[in-house]
A and B are shown apart, each in its own frame.
Chain A
């Protein structure tokens, strides 16, 4: 696709590609999400790997690391070696031939010898990607700002009469439509079936309509806790780890409501034509071994993607907070939880986002 080359590289010139310019020998470029999450990866994966192997990692942050992959691969000018992306993107890009395939049998086994393919939780390994964490979109509020009864269900988030104030939501169809349906009383198991129908979509938008005038949109993960801290919103949806970190590290009185949480994986991928493919895979092998995944939970409340890591999850880095109850996968947090359906989003992404965009800008 030579015709696209110059266009794509011009478009990207101001973006990731420049900041992640060519990595030399013994250095790989890893693109992730920044903020508290990026920090947890630097501490748990990057630093130990650099200390152990002597190689260097150039860490680049992006609001969504999947975004530059297509442009870079299409333009034939790939500057990153490893990217941390969401499930639906990992599956879609793999199908589009934008990623290198990864041989999961090469991944290190669990300490007790269980092969990696059995040790990772179901769905955590795909042809092109290796999951490192299970994360979740939840909603959270500032306990010091809400007097009296506290919100406990997804329906409360959509109830501005009972709990007045602005609401922060991620700008995009996913996962707002799912949350709207759950708030409207749809059981988690039926959400995607219903969203596949015109009536279901209408119902979801109708529910969103009830809070439309109170919505403040956020796009980067770090914006959500910021909106809450600034008092700009009374409640916001957010990635659970970001809220945990604001609460644990900065002593913010933020409370996570687990009802109606939406679980998802983050996965490591290697873009097709990455300059240091072999080294990139070495890094992924290291970063997703049992100990490293367990270590990451020291820094952020995301669940490890390996079963063997779970018992090793201990205390937060301050040595005071037990991490297990803060994991999205903890049994008491899973009572009403929805697992993101990547296949649904691969099919309906463009249709629903188009409709969502039209809904957003319509007055």
Chain B
């Protein structure tokens, strides 16, 4: 074959090709694809990071809140029995045989404590009942099992105990959500509210949302003028002011919280000052912390920069000439502010308020240190079940409800104001 060197490249109707002869369209597509892959490869580390450290743990937490297989894993025979006999309250000999064999195994495998603890969530006194029952069960020579169990402790024929075991044997359960909303099951297995002196979570959710809203409001009230000042002052003054905003922002949360302790405590700086200038007597010192005030004051201060910074960046983009134009057209300063300036800051207000509110909902170190009992928030209970009672399923259910609450509010915000209308800077 002889190459036709006479044929012009720009022959009408011919396909455009690159130097090496591939059609231009195809080459372009390939180049674009390569660029897209490159771009994707660049974000892969972040994507993996987010999936591993954020999406997976949250997914696992959500799963944990509806899945607690301790009982069904370690008491397989009783679980199978209860499944096969859905209507039986206190079982007969066959159920107790399953119980005896399971308990003996659990004793051998040293899992009896876990089972006892699981049942103990719903029925106090079960830990020792299961432990001593398992010790007994390893010594049973054979049937009749029911009789031997009852001679050990009468509790074994208690309908409520079997009720609790039935619920515990369901690995997938919504019971932890019920508990997280102050509901429990009565002796008949009906869902009822817990006694008034045990109700805690619903009240704490309400308190958490109300205090967070209050703190976001306070931050807005305090932060708006500061951000305005920062945005309008000449640069060399505003830079200095900005340092005052950023310095606390860069300081550790614990350091800031503990400095509030030394300021607010009843033998602290503020109270000493009040006593020194004679506003209060030495025995009338004001209780400013270990209560709700402590939580509100410390959290407002700690979260203030999260309000000021988005507000500042939005205000910075509002040309001063707008206000001047409004004034020259006859508006009073107040009208000009309300009609011209304020509407333009709304995206910043939305961003700042939402940021502060959502951060406040998850706070627990600050309320734990300065909040006393009336300043405690729902996250303190989550931490309690995570670290002390070790009831992780309940902790997960409490956390999941908090997450759903925040998502719900976010949805509401989107409907009312619109997320697009939000500017972080």
Contact B57 A346 (CB under 8 A): no
* Chain A interface, number of residues (Cβ within 8 angstroms): 43
Q: What is the 8 Å Cβ interface bit string for chain B, positions 379-411, against chain A (1 contact, 0 not)?
A: 001001011111110000000000000000000
Contact A232 B266 (CB under 8 A): yes
Contact A361 B60, CB 8 Å, known A95-B110, A97-B111, A348-B125? no
Contact A10 B53, CB 8 Å, known A350-B121, A357-B381? yes
User: Is there a chain A Cβ closer than 8 Å to B120's Cβ?
Assistant: yes
Contact A7 B61 (CB under 8 A): yes
How near does chain A come to B274, taking the closest CB pair, in angstroms?
15
User: Is there a chain B Cβ closer than 8 Å to A230's Cβ?
Assistant: yes
User: Is there a chain B Cβ closer than 8 Å to A147's Cβ?
Assistant: no
Distance between Cα atoms of A363 and B374 in the complex (Å): 7
Contact A357 B111, CB 8 Å, known A4-B64, A231-B267? no
User: Is there a chain B Cβ closer than 8 Å to A92's Cβ?
Assistant: yes
Residue numbers in A under 8 Å from B43 (CB-CB): none
Residue numbers in B under 8 Å from A67 (CB-CB): 387-388
Contact A360 B376, CB 8 Å, known A67-B388, A231-B267? yes
Contact A7 B64, CB 8 Å, known A350-B389, A357-B384? yes
User: Is there a chain B Cβ closer than 8 Å to A11's Cβ?
Assistant: yes
Residue numbers in B under 8 Å from A355 (CB-CB): 197-198
Distance between Cα atoms of A46 and B216 in the complex (Å): 49
Contact residue among A96, A350, A359 (Cβ-Cβ distance under 8 Å from B391): A350
Residue numbers in B under 8 Å from A346 (CB-CB): 116, 127-128, 131
Contact A95 B197 (CB under 8 A): no
* B61: nearest chain-A partner, CB-CB: A7
Contact B113 A359 (CB under 8 A): no
Pick the most buried of A205, A215, A219, A347: most chain B CB atoms within 10 A of its CB: A347
How near does chain B come to A50, taking the closest CB pair, in angstroms?
31
Q: What is the 8 Å Cβ interface bit string for chain B, positions 197-226, against chain A (1 contact, 0 not)?
A: 111100110000000000000000000000
Contact A361 B389, CB 8 Å, known A4-B60, A4-B64? no
Main secondary structure of the interface of B (DSSP, over half): helix
Distance between Cα atoms of A352 and B64 in the complex (Å): 24
Interface residues of A in 80-105 (CB under 8 A from B): 92-97
Pick the most buried of B112, B117, B121: most chain A CB atoms within 10 A of its CB: B117
Distance between Cα atoms of A97 and B386 in the complex (Å): 19
Distance between Cα atoms of A351 and B194 in the complex (Å): 12
Distance between Cα atoms of A215 and B120 in the complex (Å): 30
How near does chain A come to B286, taking the closest CB pair, in angstroms?
13
User: Is there a chain A Cβ closer than 8 Å to B114's Cβ?
Assistant: yes
User: Is there a chain B Cβ closer than 8 Å to A343's Cβ?
Assistant: yes
User: Is there a chain B Cβ closer than 8 Å to A3's Cβ?
Assistant: yes
User: Is there a chain B Cβ closer than 8 Å to A277's Cβ?
Assistant: no
Distance between Cα atoms of A231 and B262 in the complex (Å): 12
Contact A95 B112, CB 8 Å, known A10-B53, A360-B373, A360-B376? yes
Contact A7 B265, CB 8 Å, known A92-B117, A347-B120, A351-B124? no
User: Is there a chain B Cβ closer than 8 Å to A60's Cβ?
Assistant: no
Residue numbers in B under 8 Å from A10 (CB-CB): 53, 57
Contact A361 B204 (CB under 8 A): yes
* A363: nearest chain-B partner, CB-CB: B374
Interface residues in chain A, defined as those with a beta carbon under 8 Å from any beta carbon in chain B: 3-4, 6-7, 10-11, 64, 67, 70, 92-97, 166, 172, 205, 215-217, 219, 230-232, 343, 346-355, 357-363
In the complex, besides A96-B113, A360-B376, 10 extra interface pairs with C-beta distance below 8 angstroms are A232-B267, A346-B127, A347-B125, A347-B127, A348-B124, A353-B384, A353-B388, A355-B198, A358-B198, A360-B373
Can you pick out 22 interface pairs between chain A and chain B where the beta carbons lie within 8 Å of each other? A4-B60, A4-B392, A6-B52, A6-B60, A92-B117, A93-B113, A94-B110, A95-B112, A95-B131, A96-B113, A97-B113, A231-B267, A347-B120, A347-B127, A349-B389, A350-B120, A351-B120, A354-B198, A354-B200, A359-B197, A361-B203, A361-B374
